[in-house]
């Protein structure tokens, strides 16, 4: 039966024989999509008297929300912290390449840089939806330069800054513009940081705490002023101590304002965080965990020398270091790798692992009404198709916590073909 065209002439695509990740569990339902939006089949049938123009058999695969990477410094030879004349083409390249790893939205991240770099790069970043051309851009994540010298990590010390009497005006002068900025990472122990956090929050910008020597009290004060995120938990901050757990203590703090949730980023690449620490964080605060790649320009390329803003970095296997040192400098992990490692390290359900890379970052940014879920009227461009076919080992997921593990060779990823994205399959 042809679909009713009274509402729209666009074709209706029906995904059949699939399991949809919706309401925190895998549900055996069909998925209906039109013009990039997920349809309510009841309204389609009864109000529009419509039906599918195209049916796609998913062969018992999972359809899950696309991943959202809120901390990615570059990849495939592109460094977001380098001011170049063809910066926009670099954004386009990364946007297209990360689709095949399940990422459908991301925040291009700039590490600590001179003001001239921010002034040249930020005007070239614009918020845009995803689709066949690549993953959507949600806005920039500015990691620094208002961070601690003691916990600078891979950030160049000569570019670090403090807040002077003008505080927020200092920040504006450094960045030049906040028009495309989604997240700012800063150290909350800095003088006048509370004023800056309040001003950023007023403008709808997410404030993240990181590269910091803050104690728990200082971190709690920052949250009370509006901070909602922690940049790569455990890395570049004071280690957990039982008398003062520092920023890590926010995961179980009783000083978080009512109705507020603190989220925290985790680089689940098997290098930045020991699996035991990953399990501790997840069990302490599972609903706040946000998987990030912290990927650098060398992601997707062979080992060798690359850049991270003002620094030269070396890739040695899966390790990335500031050249000539053993200081970690981002990762070369893709998001699908991080999701898989997280699931294996924690023993969590498939649903939990997928939501840590989709629903949770959407909630962090306050965009869960359109991304991070497969609810009706959500953006279908964010969807990804995860094949969990039966393989020679006989393993198959039930989606239950009693069966938490899926061997990695059973996982494959295919972007939703209804979005015009080329269907490429790879191991995750």
**How confident is the model over 191-235, as pLDDT tens digits?**
999 999 999 999 999 999 999 999 999 999 999 999 999 999 999
Three-state secondary-structure class, residue 102 = coil
Distances (CA, A) of 178 to 146, 156, 166, 184, 415: 15, 22, 17, 10, 32
- Cα–Cα distance between 202 and 171 in angstroms, integer? 15
DSSP secondary-structure letter at 212?
B
- With 0-12 CB in 10 A as exposed, 13-18 as middle and 19+ as buried, what is 57? exposed
Q: What is the pLDDT of residue 418?
A: 40
pLDDT digits (tens, 9 = 90+) for 334-378: 999 999 999 999 999 999 999 999 999 999 999 999 899 998 877
**3-state SS assignment for residue 266:** strand
pLDDT of residue 378: 75
Which tokens hold the place of 20? Answer: 């949809």
Residues in CB range of 394: below 8 A, 6 or more apart: none
Alpha carbons 393 and 45: distance in angstroms, whole number: 41
Question: Are residues 201 and 181 in contact, defined by beta-carbon separation less than 8 angstroms?
Answer: no
Rounded to whole angstroms, the Cα distance separating 110 from 80 reads 6
What local confidence, expressed as pLDDT, does residue 376 receive? 87
Nearest residue to 208 via CA among 10, 95, 39, 365: 365
How far is Cα of residue 202 from the mean position of the Cα atoms in its chain? 23
> Half-sphere exposure of 244 toward its Cβ, with a 13 Å CA cutoff?
11
Alpha helices in 122-224 (DSSP H): 168-175, 193-202, 216-224
**Encoded tokens for 379:** 């953006």
Report the C-alpha gap between 160 and 310 in whole angstroms.
12
Per-residue confidence (pLDDT) for residue 415, from 0 to 100 = 53
Residues assigned a catalytic role: 294
pLDDT at 382: 54
pLDDT of residue 427: 32
How much is the pLDDT for 116? 97
Residue ranges in the chain modelled with pLDDT below 70: 1-7, 380-428
pLDDT number for residue 386: 55
């Amino acid at each position: 039966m042809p679909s009713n065209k009274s509402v729209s002439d666009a074709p209706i695509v029906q995904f059949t024989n699939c399991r949809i990740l919706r309401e925190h569990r895998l549900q055996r339902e069909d998925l209906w999509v039109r013009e990039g939006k997920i349809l309510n089949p009841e309204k389609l049938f009864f109000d529009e008297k419509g039906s599918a123009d195209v049916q796609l058999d998913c062969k018992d695969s999972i359809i899950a929300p696309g991943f959202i990477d809120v901390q990615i410094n570059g990849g495939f030879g592109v460094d977001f912290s380098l001011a170049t004349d063809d910066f926009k083409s670099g954004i386009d390249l990364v946007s297209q390449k990360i689709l095949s790893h399940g990422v459908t939205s991301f925040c291009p991240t700039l590490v600590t840089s001179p003001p001239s770099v921010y002034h040249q790069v930020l005007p070239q970043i614009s918020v845009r939806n995803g689709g066949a051309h690549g993953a959507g851009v949600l806005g920039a994540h500015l990691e620094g330069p208002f961070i601690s010298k003691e916990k600078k990590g891979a950030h160049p010390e000569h570019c670090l800054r403090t807040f002077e009497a003008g505080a927020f005006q200092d920040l504006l002068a450094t960045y030049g513009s906040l028009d495309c900025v989604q997240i700012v990472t800063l150290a909350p122990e800095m003088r006048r940081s509370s004023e800056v956090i309040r001003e950023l929050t007023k403008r709808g910008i997410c404030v993240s705490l990181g590269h910091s020597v803050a104690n728990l009290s200082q971190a709690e004060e920052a949250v009370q002023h509006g901070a909602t995120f922690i940049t790569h938990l455990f890395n570049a901050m004071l280690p957990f101590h039982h008398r003062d757990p520092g920023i890590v203590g926010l995961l179980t703090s009783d000083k978080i304002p009512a109705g507020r949730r603190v989220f925290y980023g985790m680089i689940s690449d098997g290098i930045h965080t020991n699996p035991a620490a990953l399990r501790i964080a997840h069990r302490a605060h599972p609903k706040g965990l946000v998987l990030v790649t912290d990927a650098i320009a060398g992601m997707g390329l062979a080992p060798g020398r690359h850049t991270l803003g003002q620094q030269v970095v070396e890739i040695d296997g899966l390790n990335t270091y500031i050249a000539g040192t053993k200081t970690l400098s981002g990762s070369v992990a893709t998001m699908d790798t991080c999701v898989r490692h997280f699931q294996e390290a924690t023993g969590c359900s498939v649903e939990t692992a997928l939501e840590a890379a989709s629903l949770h970052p959407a909630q962090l940014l306050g965009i869960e009404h359109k991304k991070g879920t497969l609810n009706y009227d959500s953006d279908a461009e964010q969807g990804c198709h995860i094949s969990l076919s039966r393989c020679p080992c006989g393993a198959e997921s039930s989606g239950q916590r009693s069966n938490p593990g899926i061997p990695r060779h059973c996982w494959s990823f295919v972007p939703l073909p209804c979005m015009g994205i080329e269907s490429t399959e790879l191991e995750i």
